[in-house]
Amino acid sequence: MIKAVIFDMFETLVSMFSGGTYFSEDMATDLNIPVDAFRNERISEATTRHQLDGIQRMFEKIIKGMMDEGIVIDDDPELLAVELTAPAVLQIARSDRQPQCEEECMEYIEKHLQHFCRVYMKED
């Protein structure tokens, strides 16, 4: 039996896409495997913890510390962490899929960080 882990956000890897939204059930069918074998709760939880939760918790603590030091305006550090990290995570994912777009992605991340600082950092 061949085992594999497939991460595919709306047909970026599996090229049998014919239109519409492409969910895990469709990928399982195209790969000729049962949907239950395609889904693995342990791997899903680890991936979410690594790619989303861990990054957001880390930045939540950083932003909270910056609030406590008077560097960032007082707000909800959890929401600010999501607002800060989500665009960067998306651009990094795009750059991973399309290396030719790396410079454009990095420029977007820099632009976003500058915007975030203008909006949320306290002025001296």
106: buried, middle or exposed (CB in 10 Å: 19+, 13-18, 0-12)? middle
Span 33-47, pLDDT tens digits:
777 766 677 767 777
| CA gap 121, 124 in Å, rounded | 9
Both tokens assigned to 67: 């609030």
Give the residue extent of every domain in the chain.
Answer: 1-39, 46-120
**What is the pTM for the complete model shown?**
0.62
Check residue 16 and give its pLDDT: 46
| CA gap 56, 32 in Å, rounded | 36
Three-state DSSP state, 5:
coil
Span 81-101, pLDDT tens digits:
999 999 988 898 888 888 899
| CA gap 124, 11 in Å, rounded | 47
Check residue 29 and give its pLDDT: 77
